[in-house]
Structure 1
Amino acid sequence: MKLNSIIIGEGQPLLILHGFLGMSDNWKTIGNKLAEEKKIQVHLIDQRNHGKSPHTDAHSYELMAEDVSMYCEQHALSNVILLGHSMGGKTAMLAAANYPELVKKLVVVDIAPKYYEPHHQQILAGLTALEEANLQSRQEADKKLSEFISEKPVRLFLLKNLKRKSEGAYCLKVNLETLKKNIEEIGRAFPQDKAFKNPSLFIKGGESNYIKEEDEEKIKSQFPAAEIKEIKGAGHWVHAEKMNDFYKVLVDFL
């Protein structure tokens, strides 16, 4: 598996893993800032079945953690800082636990090691409707998606997955069939018998319910060197909603 990535800058390698239905581009602004100001080499990675990375029939955290290890091998990287948001955070947790010799520090954004029930049904229904429509413009796609999702920012985020086919109509970059088939996998808990002992930072959005107070004990038990920081006023997309506050907390940890 050869993952697609955007590599920016030179220095300490920092690998960034996007969330479910996201892509490497989602982190470009922060990636550019880190590379320019902090002399960090940022790797913005498309996880399997997302962005420009390969589409496969399988989608699991074990496989995605293995993909990260293979990516490090292919790019001759060691002693990396690994950052993941949401689904990417679960991938990052498992990659750090399975390959501790590779990971110097871990940053997990707004996700806990616990199980989450599937809650993307409406979004997946909307994307399925896009896939089945013969879309000729982004405006047409937005109109179709608005039948399923009322929040404009969520639609804009999802519409980044549109790409134009050679014959002119639009299609999706994500491997929707595989993701729908493996939707239970997205919420799967970090294994009880795994741990990561190196420095870790868990960043939660103050307005998000993904990391609750009662989850903090579990985080500390499996990530004993973890700090937990809250970004006030931020929802689940912490890094986009409160970028300056997020950047400061991240840089202090790095």
Structure 2
Amino acid sequence: MLNVVTHGTRTGTAPLLIAHGLFGSARNWGVIAKRLSDEREVRAVDMRNHGESPWQDTHTYTDMADDLAAAIDGTHDVLGHSMGGKAAMVLALTRPDLVRKLIVADISPVVYGHTQMPMIEAMRSLDLARIETRGDADRQLQSVVQEDGVRAFLLQSLDVKSRRWRLNLEALAQEMDKIIGFPDIDGQFDGPVLFLSGSHSDYVRREHRDRIRSHFPNAVFAKIPGAGHWLHAEKPREFEAAIRAFLKHGHKT
């Protein structure tokens, strides 16, 4: 079973389940999850091979959707970012009975050409035996990951005290083609769906819309100005407002 971090309490409104992206964790979503829990229970999960959830040899979207289904009791609204968004889409397509409304943050149901292997190689390059503090790890990573924000994000998954990554880097590397892909899947989810993307990101393109609507005929699209792929971290207030509006009204207002 996935590790679940719960915020708030059950109300008459459907709980919100949050599925993070690659190299992320439930803890990355703590601030937004806590704020959204003023109106409903919000449950953020650690995906398999991430955070405090079990490590598995496989990392397919079918597996991840099954994991999410097992974490749901009753109907939930579901929010997924990037890898978590793909898992949430597969959940909605295979178990529509579990999903009331779906929010897909900055990802499409398509195969992407980029790979995240350089990030895995960067984390593998860390000499864990020489790390006493997070600052030590940050200095080691600087030569291979120049962006301060990316290093800070990756290092959230480093358990400094135990000198280990909370990421199953071997399985993620082995399954990278599946992570950047999308399963050949039939089916439709007829409920309300919001594809929310950053205006500076190219993950959700206009040419993806026919594919999206073939699976999600009631999809609506919105962009957060000035945000990139990490829209929830870059523009948290605007992201939160868009989520609230969609969950309340079914579309972004």
2:229 is matched with: 236
2:104 is matched with: 108
CA–CA separation in structure 1 for the residues paired with 2:141 and 2:19: 25
2:190 is matched with: 197
2:250 is matched with: none
Distance 1:82 1:133, change over 3 A: same
Consecutive unaligned residues of structure 1, counting only runs of 5 or more, are none
Query: How does the TM-score come out when normalised to structure 1?
Result: 0.92
SS in 1 for 2:126: helix
Consecutive unaligned residues of structure 2, counting only runs of 5 or more, are 248-253
The equivalent position to 2:22 in structure 1, one of 4, 20, 23, is: 20
2:114/2:180 contact within 8 Å kept: yes
Distance 1:142 1:219, change over 3 A: same
The equivalent position to 1:181 in structure 2, one of 164, 174, 179, is: 174
After superposition, the CA RMSD in angstroms is 1.3
SS in 1 for 2:164: strand
CA–CA separation in structure 2 for the residues paired with 1:130 and 1:161: 13
CA–CA separation in structure 2 for the residues paired with 1:183 and 1:70: 24
CA–CA separation in structure 1 for the residues paired with 2:238 and 2:8: 22
1:137 to 2:139 alignment? no
> Could you tell me which amino acid in structure 2 is paired with residue 28 of structure 1?
G
CA–CA separation in structure 2 for the residues paired with 1:134 and 1:18: 30
Distance 1:105 1:122, change over 3 A: same
CA offset at residue 220 of structure 1? 1.8
1:128 is matched with: 124
1:7 is matched with: 6
The equivalent position to 1:94 in structure 2, one of 80, 90, 96, is: 90
List per-residue Cα deviations over 1:42-87 (Å, max 9, x = no partner): 0010000000000111111111101111112xxxx21210110000
1:47 is matched with: 47
1:29 is matched with: 31
List per-residue Cα deviations over 1:218-249 (Å, max 9, x = no partner): 21221101111011100001111011111111
Query: How does the TM-score come out when normalised to structure 2?
Result: 0.93
CA offset at residue 165 of structure 1? 4.3
List per-residue Cα deviations over 1:6-40 (Å, max 9, x = no partner): 1011222110000000000111111111112xx21
> Could you tell me which amino acid in structure 2 is paired with residue 225 of structure 1?
N
CA–CA separation in structure 1 for the residues paired with 2:246 and 2:144: 39
What is the total number of aligned residue pairs between the two structures?
244
1:122/1:149 contact within 8 Å kept: no
Distance 1:229 1:90, change over 3 A: same
